[in-house]
Amino acid sequence: MNDETKELIADGEQRKRVGMALAASNNADRVTLGRLSLLASLLRSDTGSATIDDATGADEIRTQFADGGRWRGTVTKSLVSDGFATIEGTTQSLRPSRHRGYVAVLRLADRAGAAEYLRTFAEAVESITNEKTPPAATDGALDQSLAPTTTKEQANGLT
């Protein structure tokens, strides 16, 4: 790879970081709710894997975000940088507005940490508002066992 190619890649990566940070700062509440929902999806997943599409409500999966949804990349990236998940690969998005573009497949890296993060958040909301965390924020993960519904062995028919 020559120096010009390296410069172009570095410039593109820098622009992406700036754009994601700006989109996230303008949508902090949506990023927080997205993090909670994606963590809940990862915790509920039989395989410990999920995409941002798995954390998208049924009412939003078919619609385009008015702001383009550029803040959604921060949701997945922040869970990886915080050590809750790793990027396992990519798959094509289910959202029609994404035109089958690629989204990251995350794998849960810290089940205990993710569960504690959800509990701590719910307790903080309850202490501040004197109300339970809205179910949509945690996608029901706090109301049920945080263990996967089946083990890998059960999924593979080994038990």
pLDDT at 12: 85
pLDDT at 153: 38
Is the sign of the CA dihedral 78, 128, 119, 105 positive or negative?
negative
pLDDT at 39: 95
**pLDDT tens-digit map of 31-40:** 888 999 999 9
User: Which helix (H) or strand (E) segment is 121 a member of?
Assistant: helix 111-129
145 Cβ partners below 8 Å, 6+ apart? none
Residues of the chain with pLDDT under 70: 130-159
How many other C-beta atoms can be found within 10 angstroms of the C-beta atom of residue 44? Answer: 19
